[in-house]
C-alpha cells in the first residue's frame, strides 16, 4: 500500500526564508579591517610611516572593539556562540565535500577558528607596533618602556607577524572561494547585506542594539588613545 505524502508538509519542510544573520557593526568591522590591513601594507611598503602608524592605531581600535563585541554583541558575533574548538573545526573540514546545504546561522567551526586566529595575530601586530623603533628617527609611544634591545626584538616580531597575517588572509580568501565554487555556499553576500536564506525552522539570531556597539567602539578608541597620547 502506497503511503500518502502531504505535498503541503513537504513544501513547508523544504521552505527557506531570508534571515538577518550579521549585524551592521560586525559587517562594518569586517570590511573596515580589510581596508585598513591593505592600507597598513601599502603605507609600510612605500615608507609612509606616519600613515602606517595611524592605520595601526585604527586596526588596534577595531580589534579591541571586536573583542568587546564578541562578549556583549549580537548572537552571531559572540565568541561563546560560535567558537567550538579545533576538534569541531577539523570535523567540519572532514565533511566539507558532502555538499550539504549551507544552514549555518553564523560562522561555521572552521571559520570560527580562522576568526580567532586572525584576531590574535592582528592584536599582536598592532599592539607590538606600539613598542617599535627604528633606532634613529622613529619611536612608537611605548618603546621607552622596554628599552632599545627589546624594542628591536619586538620590531622584528612586528614584521614577522604581518607575514603570518598575509598567509592567514590568503587562506581565508581561498577558503571563501572554495566554498563558493565547490559547495555553492555564498559567504560574501551575507557579510555585505547581513541577510541569508535559511530553513524556515531556524530561529533568527538576536541582534544587539547599535548604541551598544557605539559604546564598545568608544571604549576601544579610548583605550588606544590612552596608550598612544597620554
Give tens-digit pLDDT for 176-188. Answer: 998 888 888 899 9
Residue 53 lies in a domain: yes
Q: Residue 118: inside a domain, yes or no?
A: yes
Give the number of domains in the chain. 1
Please answer whether residues 228 and 130 qualify as being in contact, where contact means their C-beta atoms are separated by less than 8 angstroms.
Answer: yes
CATH code, domain carrying 152? 1.20.950
Query: For the whole prediction, is pTM greater than 0.85?
Result: yes
Residue 86 pLDDT: 83
pLDDT digits (tens, 9 = 90+) for 165-175: 999 999 999 99
| pLDDT digit string, tens, across residues 105-153 | 999 888 999 999 999 999 999 998 888 765 544 656 676 677 777 777 8
Q: Could you identify the residue written with the cell 588572509?
A: 169
Query: Cα separation of 10 and 13, whole Å?
Result: 5
Per the model's pLDDT, the better-predicted residue between 132 and 217 turns out to be 217
In our burial notation (b when 16+ CB lie closer than 10 A, e otherwise), range 58-76 reads bbbbbbbbbebbbeebbbb
Residue 227's CB is within 10 A of a number of other CB atoms, namely: 15
How far is 64 from 66, CA to CA, in rounded Å? 5
What average pLDDT does the structure give for the chain?
Answer: 86
C-beta of residue 20 within 8 angstroms of C-beta of residue 194: yes
200 falls within a domain: no
Parent domain of 175: 29-194+215-229
Amino acid at each position: 500500500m502506497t503511503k500518502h505524502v502531504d505535498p503541503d508538509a513537504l513544501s513547508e519542510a523544504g521552505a527557506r526564508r531570508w534571515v538577518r544573520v550579521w549585524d551592521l557593526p560586525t559587517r562594518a568591522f569586517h570590511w573596515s579591517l580589510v581596508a585598513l590591513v591593505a592600507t597598513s601594507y601599502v603605507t609600510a611598503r612605500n615608507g609612509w610611516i606616519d600613515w602606517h602608524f595611524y592605520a595601526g592605531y585604527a586596526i588596534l581600535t577595531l580589534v579591541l572593539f571586536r573583542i568587546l563585541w564578541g562578549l556583549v554583541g549580537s548572537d552571531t558575533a559572540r565568541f561563546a556562540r560560535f567558537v567550538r574548538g579545533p576538534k569541531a573545526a577539523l570535523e567540519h573540514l572532514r565533511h566539507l565535500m558532502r555538499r550539504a546545504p549551507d544552514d549555518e546561522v553564523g560562522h561555521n567551526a572552521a571559520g570560527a577558528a580562522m576568526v580567532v586566529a586572525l584576531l590574535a595575530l592582528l592584536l599582536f601586530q598592532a599592539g607590538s607596533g606600539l613598542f617599535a623603533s627604528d633606532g634613529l628617527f622613529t619611536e612608537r609611544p611605548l618603546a621607552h618602556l622596554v628599552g632599545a634591545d627589546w624594542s628591536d626584538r619586538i620590531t622584528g616580531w612586528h614584521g614577522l607577524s604581518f607575514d603570518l597575517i598575509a598567509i592567514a588572509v590568503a587562506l581565508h580568501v581561498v577558503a571563501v572561494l572554495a566554498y563558493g565554487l565547490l559547495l555553492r555556499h555564498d559567504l560574501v553576500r551575507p557579510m555585505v547585506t547581513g541577510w541569508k536564506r535559511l530553513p524556515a525552522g531556524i530561529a533568527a539570531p538576536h541582534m544587539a542594539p547599535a548604541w551598544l556597539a557605539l559604546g564598545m567602539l568608544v571604549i576601544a578608541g579610548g583605550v588606544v588613545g590612552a596608550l598612544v597620547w597620554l
